[in-house]
Amino acid sequence: MSSEKLLNITINGMPVKVKDGATILQAAKKLGIKIPTLCYLELDCFHFEHRKGSCRICMVEVEGRRNLAPACCTPVMDKMVIQTHSPRAVNARRTVLDLILSDHPKDCLTCAKSGNCELQKLAADFKLTSVKYEGEQSTYDFDKANESIVRDLNKCIMCRRCESACNEMQTVGILSGVRRGFEAIVAPTLEKPLDETNCVFCGQCVAACPVGALTAVIRNQDVLDALNDPKKTVVVQTAPAVRVAIGEGFGLKPGTISTGKLVTALRRLGFDAVFDTDFAADLTIMEETTEFIERVKKGENLPILTSCCPGWVKFFEHQFPDLIHIPSTAKSPQQMFGAIAKTYYAQKLGVDPKDLVVVSIMPCLAKKYEASRPEFARDGIRDVDIVLSTRELIIMLNEAGIQLDRLEDGEYDSPLGESTGAAVIFGASGGVLEAALRTAADWLTGQDLEKVDFAAVRGLEGTKEATVEVAGMQVKAAVVSGLGNARRLLERIRSGEAQYHIIEIMACPGGCLNGGGQPYIRGNTAILEARMNAIYEADKGLPKRKSHQNPDIIKLYDEFLGKPGSHLAHELLHTHYISRGNA
């Protein structure tokens, strides 16, 4: 039996038992009572909760108290009696909304978050048809100097959700409340632009922001311009996490596997070829596993850290420069794809690399930043030219009148479209590590082992540890998602408290499934679970589930690269890192 203390409270005349320490908001949810919120955000499976009560939209009336109480951060007490929608509480909410709107731009029709704005929805719910208080408006400059994130502080409502996501969940620590009173905003120290800070461009602040103060850089028009340029050959790659999330933008259930429909949609947009980033994920495993086996045999530079996530890469460049020698030097799948497309594929087509445009569809805003890094260009030609988020592609398809949910299934083009189940699971936290273990086990034993599932490294938990037997060797592994969890683990490694052979790290909690460019989930972890389950379902449905079994990867090495870890492979598929220190 549980010894957890339960409290008896009454909400709107209905009795309910709740755990000691629960808030009024949580108690109301148990009864199916909806209390409006703006600043509140919870990701329960990652133990992240922003409930500072800064917006005051969730005010309720508590019997025996003179003042109204914010439901999101007021703990319940035994025998508490609460009215959530009394005239006094509703009037207070309406007044707060009126005051927020009095200093908020009225450009809802053209705002990047129109349709996804929580303030817009609340105004509609309260049927606010006019602005009650007119007066001075705050005016700030846009910050759009980077490739990933746009900051429009004119729309900041001081809910401070972005601050919590950056500082508490991700521990990047660049955002805080600055100025006072009417001039108060959330901004970096000295109000620097993001590209002059330690920002890793993970996009979790964008996902947390309830309004249009933080949005993604939109590159749709650049793609359309390229598609309409007769001198350009335009190809596109799709990341594994996109296929289990994009359907949400067209009314499909979370976790619907939309791979074939996605291919057809992109072909209808006019791309010359539609490829799969999963091909490059298989290629990543070939290089990264080769590197892992070499390090294990030598007993050097362990643990090896996966390097597929650009947000994580920039984080360790700033925060852990003393450990810069241990991440794998393998490029991410996005960048490997671009490098192979601009060389191997361009040669096959007889196209000048400068006339080949590579577009990526990614769940991630840091991928936009990654593509712009100078080391990912050869002779001034970028490996990847344009990166669109899942949300941007949804907008693009809607503009083109393409109803993804009604399309027939298409097939990826060859030779950069073939992939295995090992590549598909890259989208989920633990997927990169599991894919590497599948290949490492075969290579170290020289056998085609039947066991391909390493379930111990799966799941949405922020930190997972496992000891896995590979070819008779006990491999100590860890999987981390969310940069706050990464920091805690790396500090243990730095101090010598923890020792591993291999670690996978993803910047976003839950991995790429929860990337900053995915359809907004607003803390709904059930959606993440549905996406994750779909990823593993897709893996199980493929005939080949190990990266080294991909016939097009084998052909790529035979015809072009030679072997994993070759000189040409290092030239095209590997990179170096920069010790950035703290900005």
Position 557 scores a pLDDT of: 98
In the set 370, 418, 434, 461, the catalytic residue is 370
Is 72 marked active-site? no
Position 48 scores a pLDDT of: 64
* Neighbour-count burial of 70, counting CB atoms closer than 10 A to its CB (0-12 exposed, 13-18 middle, 19+ buried): buried
**Under a CB-based contact definition with an 8 Å cutoff, are residues 439 and 470 in contact?**
no
For the residues of 446-463, what is the DSSP string, one character each? Answer: TS--S----GGG-SS-SE
Domain 6-98 fold:
Ubiquitin-like (UB roll) (3.10.20)
Is 248 marked active-site? no
**Under a CB-based contact definition with an 8 Å cutoff, are residues 374 and 346 in contact?**
no
Q: Is there a shared CATH topology between the 6-98 domain and the 110-212 domain?
A: no
Position 428 scores a pLDDT of: 94
B/e letters for 249-276, b = 16+ CB within 10 Å, e = fewer, are: bbebebbbbbbebbbbbbbebebbbbbb
Is 176 marked active-site? no
Is 308 marked active-site? yes
In the set 159, 199, 209, 512, the catalytic residue is 512
In the set 308, 309, 364, 508, the catalytic residue is 308
In the set 49, 288, 392, 461, the catalytic residue is 288
d(CA 535, CA 261): 16
Torsion of CA 546, 551, 554, 556, to 10 degrees: -120
Domain 110-212 = CATH 3.30.70.20: yes
B/e letters for 145-165, b = 16+ CB within 10 Å, e = fewer, are: ebbbbbbbbbbbbbbbbbbbb
In the chain, what are the domain boundaries?
6-98, 110-212, 220-573
Reported pTM: 0.93
Q: Are strands 381-382 and 377-378 parallel, antiparallel or unpaired?
A: antiparallel
Is 196 marked active-site? no
d(CA 546, CA 421): 7
In the set 328, 332, 389, 481, the catalytic residue is 328
Position 46 scores a pLDDT of: 60
Position 1 scores a pLDDT of: 43
Could you identify the residue written with the tokens 């590197």?
Answer: 291
Q: Are strands 48-50 and 41-43 parallel, antiparallel or unpaired?
A: antiparallel
How is domain 220-573 classified at the architecture level of CATH? 3-Layer(aba) Sandwich (3.40)
d(CA 58, CA 192): 33
Position 57 scores a pLDDT of: 93
Is 370 marked active-site? yes
Is 375 marked active-site? yes
Cβ neighbours for 179, distance < 8 A, ≥ 6 positions apart = 185
Residue 333, preceding peptide bond in cis (omega within 30° of 0): no
Position 523 scores a pLDDT of: 82
Is 297 marked active-site? no
Hey, CA dihedral for 85, 91, 96, 102, is it positive or negative?
Answer: positive
Instruction: For the chain, list residues with pLDDT below 50.
Output: 1
Position 45 scores a pLDDT of: 55
